[in-house]
Amino acid sequence: MKITDVEAIILRQPVLDEGIADGSQDDLVIRIHTDEGITGIGEVDSSPEAVHALVSATSSHAIAHSFHSLLVGEDPTDIERLWQKMYRGMNYIGRRGIALHAQSGIDIALWDIKGKAAGKPISELLGGAIHDRVRAYASMLMPDTTEETAERVSALRDDGFTAIKLGWGPLGKDPKHDVRLATAAKEAAGDGDILIDAGHGYGADAKTAIGVARELEQLGVYWLEEPFEPDEYEAYAELADTVDIRVTAGEQDTTVWGFRELIERGHVDLVQPDVTRCGGITELIRIGALAREHGVETVPHAWKSGIIKAASLHANAVLPDATFQEYCVADTPINQTLVKERMPLDADGFVAVPTGPGLGIELDEEVLERYRVS
């Protein structure tokens, strides 16, 4: 089997709210075509137009390529070799950041092809599922008021979620209000878990973050996510070494090498590689192994569409810790309708790992064309 085309498809809803941190308003879908009629799908959570250029542009010179030129004619099932070829081939353009974002979506699509060709789910190709379902946490943006926070959390509890994460929005602007919002969420959650994502809100201010974290500990909040800017390792270490609440980060990071620095310098308790950014399924599994060697948990970040949900579930299926599956509840058409499979919660608040070949999902072609940017 040979790759015949690598397609990058930009999707965007008609009106974007650029004032909120909701990446499900647009998308970059990867489709890899083969000479045997098998098509793999992937997704990239990044700047769609920039990724499109990296995938589709002509090569510049011997060490500055496009992904299309690197992959056409290759065997799509030789994933590890292709991962290394892509990484080396983009070395001149960038070993981190957007080059790895694009490579992530392609890696997901290659695994989808390999699974479809073998008639097996990706989790089986990764060594076999340890878990056939994973506890889901509803992931939403933090409202501005305590009243709306309590209302939203109560509604999600009624929907069957036993854990809810609230992030970004007003967090980081007023530490006292941050605690008030978390208090409202925890009270509304009852016996459910609340997770707080500060969205880099404290910059590099470890003292302020420690004060907030102490309050969240008293409330019984499960974790404090991304309190600082991604490269503020000293602030992360000071916070993590001082408080008992889990300190988490990593959705902005790529590759095992990047996560080694986050773990060893930042002392985080839990890492959150995003399969559409960190280097794909291939690299997420390696990051999980690195984290376990350091006594650190891995919970994949997943906010975009059903594609990332499915890819993250297959990774979670083989991760021994597999504490949570992030479950974006954004009311956007890309999140809600791009993939035909709804991946619902069961009665216990868990979501099943797909069992069909490859990712085990199918794109809704009508939705794809409706939001496609030509």
Res. 20 pLDDT band, cuts 50 70 90: confident
pLDDT digit string, tens, across residues 185-243 = 999 999 999 999 999 999 999 999 999 999 999 999 999 999 999 999 999 999 999 99
- Asked whether the predicted pLDDT for residue 71 surpasses 80, the reply is yes
Q: Is the pTM of this model over 0.85?
A: yes
Tell me if residue 101 is catalytic: no
CB 263 within 8 A of CB 288: no
- pLDDT of 61 reads 80
DSSP track, 303-357 = -SSHHHHHHHHHHHHH-S----EEEE----HHHHHSBS----B-TTSEEEPP-SS
- CA gap 223, 277 in Å, rounded: 22
pLDDT digit string, tens, across residues 99-123 = 999 999 999 999 999 999 999 999 9
**Taking CA 253 as the corner, what is the angle to CA 249 and CA 255, rounded to the nearest 5 degrees?**
125
Q: What is the largest CA-CA distance in the chain?
A: 59
Rounded average pLDDT over 36-60: 95
DSSP 8-class letter at 301: B
- pLDDT of 114 reads 98
Task: Tell me the domain boundaries of the chain.
Answer: 3-119, 125-363
pLDDT digit string, tens, across residues 315-368 = 999 999 889 999 999 999 999 999 999 999 999 999 999 999 999 999 999 999
The helix (H) or strand (E) run that includes residue 283 is: helix 280-293
Q: Which of 361, 362, 358 is nearest to 115 (CA)?
A: 358
Domain 125-363 falls under CATH 3.40.718.10:
no
In this structure, which long-range contacts are made by residues 81-88, counting pairs with CB atoms below 8 Å and at least 24 apart in sequence?
82/110, 83/107, 83/279, 83/280, 83/282, 83/283
- CA gap 103, 67 in Å, rounded: 8
> What are the C-alpha distances in Å from 181 to residues 101, 130, 164, 290?
33, 36, 13, 34
pLDDT digit string, tens, across residues 149-195 = 999 999 999 999 999 999 999 999 999 999 999 999 999 999 999 99
Catalytic residue, candidates 52, 200, 267, 314: 200
- CA gap 108, 43 in Å, rounded: 7
Rounded average pLDDT over 54-66: 85
CB 265 within 8 A of CB 238: no
Tell me if residue 200 is catalytic: yes
- pLDDT of 179 reads 98
- CA gap 306, 338 in Å, rounded: 7
- pLDDT of 345 reads 98
- CA gap 112, 95 in Å, rounded: 24
- pLDDT of 62 reads 76
- The top-level CATH class assigned to 3-119 is alpha beta
Mean pLDDT of the chain: 96
Catalytic residue, candidates 33, 101, 301, 314: 301
